[in-house]
Structure 1
């Protein structure tokens, strides 16, 4: 193959990305780089829907269980890590697969991201204090008003990310979404972007069933072990923050489960909005695996000629 090729498998939560990515990786005899901002944390497994041990045994995965939940990573960190993973795979393989739903991480790998200016810690601390007094509803309202473009694609139940983005906006006058020089970085490999989709009600049903299965698999117990660390930024996220509220007595267990489902559906909608803005994506149903493999093979062959 004349040029190394990166195949992106993106899409909303619970759409079936892992299964398709494994099929693609096995077909081309290669490995997978995760583009999920939470599956890299060792302590968070059930609530992040990591590939199972059996799936990881079938295909080697990078950026899974690679960091502690206490470590804070951003898109710039991911760019450098993922480029290193690509280099390792491309040493003896012509194709690498990226699988995940964190759109900013995928964009950082494909296009590059600039080093960001420091956020004013005084502003960030003041926002943190105000959030603790007024709650998540206030924080969502202020972020939506001051940085609507970020809020439209953000994980809206994650106060740490909302505070960081709002502090960045107030510190620099720019949205964190747009902090790039405008120059897309050259990559030493080709990029083919695939996104998966399902009819909305089918996707929402899959999300609900996944949450129910997570509870059966032990999400409640996993959250209990993480509860002492609940103030860590990486734990202020869907699937955990709702259960922490339950442990604190703010809501019932059934209410927490219902909120996890609702917030996951909301997040899936924002993910779809993000990926549909990028016209380079080719859209497939997760049930079209044979057609998808044929399309990828043909696209890669075209790059050879």
Structure 2
């Protein structure tokens, strides 16, 4: 029987960590995190890293293993994750992948598009442009360099804009021309389980989570990262808003309301991304584990 990777996806604050741990305990297996911000050890509170008891319940990988000072791309993650997964499959029939970062999930489950290497100073220059001129300058530049990708990309995500622009500027070709090339085949099955809930409930859980992060010391965490605020890793909801508070641009109450608003928008984009997949098994946020296991078994037997 082919090895199987169960990928747990869904919007932020919906309960992916709990389901992933429940599945890992059930199958006596390990968890691979595909949350692109939980990688960074300085960003613990604002990224909702699993608690000590959650981490102890099952073996986790790719949690707090990098520094924000490290250069670490989705390509680096793909290479490291696939090597680790192949190693873990030597002793496990099933593994669990969990995360709300769609690009990082796809990197493991489907493989990345193949892009050429470009000079690192191009990215540095674009980051500087973002810091001094704002995101609108990057949006206009992408519209000029690659109008096709401009129509598809999340224009509020500076990481996506900078990634596309560095390819455009470094190769002289549109970023979109490198998409949809032949990707690496995976030698394991992938079963994707998506968690969903009514939008009002998701938004309520997001608001509660932000309040809990603040109670747990988010302000202190963000303040400690102020010297590094221009790094890519820190262009993240929950951090960038509080940087504005610490720099006296915003009042604290307004910054907190912006975190909640931007997190709700992020959750909406996550759902849009994950809903594109046709083979996802969708389950309710409060669905019984036994029912979820039945759906997974049924899906497996259909293949």
Q: Calculate the TM-score normalised by the size of structure 1.
A: 0.89
Partner of 2:239: 240
Q: Is the 8 A contact 2:10 2:196 kept in 1?
A: yes
Partner of 2:153: 151
Distance 1:206 1:142, change over 3 A: farther
Q: Is the 8 A contact 2:127 2:162 kept in 1?
A: yes
Partner of 1:187: 186
Partner of 1:207: 206
- Distance in 2, matches of 1:144 and 1:265, equals 26
Return 250-259 or 285-294, whichever deviates more: 285-294
What CA deviation, in whole Å up to 9, does each residue of 1:93-150 have, x standing for no partner? 1100000011111111112124422346675455444434432344456557843355
Partner of 2:33: 34
Q: CA RMSD, aligned part only?
A: 2.3
How far apart are residue 276 of structure 1 and its match?
Answer: 1.2
How far apart are residue 39 of structure 1 and its match?
Answer: 0.5
5+ residue gaps, structure 1, are none
Distance 1:141 1:270, change over 3 A: farther
Distance 1:41 1:133, change over 3 A: closer
- Distance in 1, matches of 2:123 and 2:112, equals 22
Q: Is the 8 A contact 1:20 1:289 kept in 2?
A: no
- Distance in 2, matches of 1:90 and 1:120, equals 36
Alignment of 1:1-305 (within 5 A): 2-119=1-118, 124=123, 127-140=126-139, 143=142, 146=147, 147-152=149-154, 156=156, 159-172=158-171, 173-175=173-175, 179-180=178-179, 182-290=181-289, 291-300=291-300
What CA deviation, in whole Å up to 9, does each residue of 1:198-233 have, x standing for no partner? 111111111111111100011101111111222221
- Distance in 1, matches of 2:140 and 2:53, equals 43
Q: Is the 8 A contact 1:5 1:300 kept in 2?
A: no
5+ residue gaps, structure 2, are none
Distance 1:129 1:233, change over 3 A: closer
Q: Is the 8 A contact 2:127 2:230 kept in 1?
A: no
Aligned residue for 2:225, secondary structure, equals: helix
- Distance in 2, matches of 1:101 and 1:144, equals 27
Distance 1:261 1:36, change over 3 A: same
How far apart are residue 87 of structure 1 and its match?
Answer: 2.0
How far apart are residue 264 of structure 1 and its match?
Answer: 0.8
Q: Is the 8 A contact 2:46 2:213 kept in 1?
A: yes
Q: Calculate the TM-score normalised by the size of structure 2.
A: 0.89
What CA deviation, in whole Å up to 9, does each residue of 1:210-264 have, x standing for no partner? 1111000111011111112222211121111111111111111111111111111
Return 80-89 or 242-251, whichever deviates more: 80-89
Query: Which aligned runs of 4 or more in structure 1 are off by greater than 6 angstroms?
Result: none
Aligned residue for 1:46, secondary structure, equals: coil
Q: Is the 8 A contact 2:153 2:160 kept in 1?
A: no
Q: Number of paired residues? A: 298
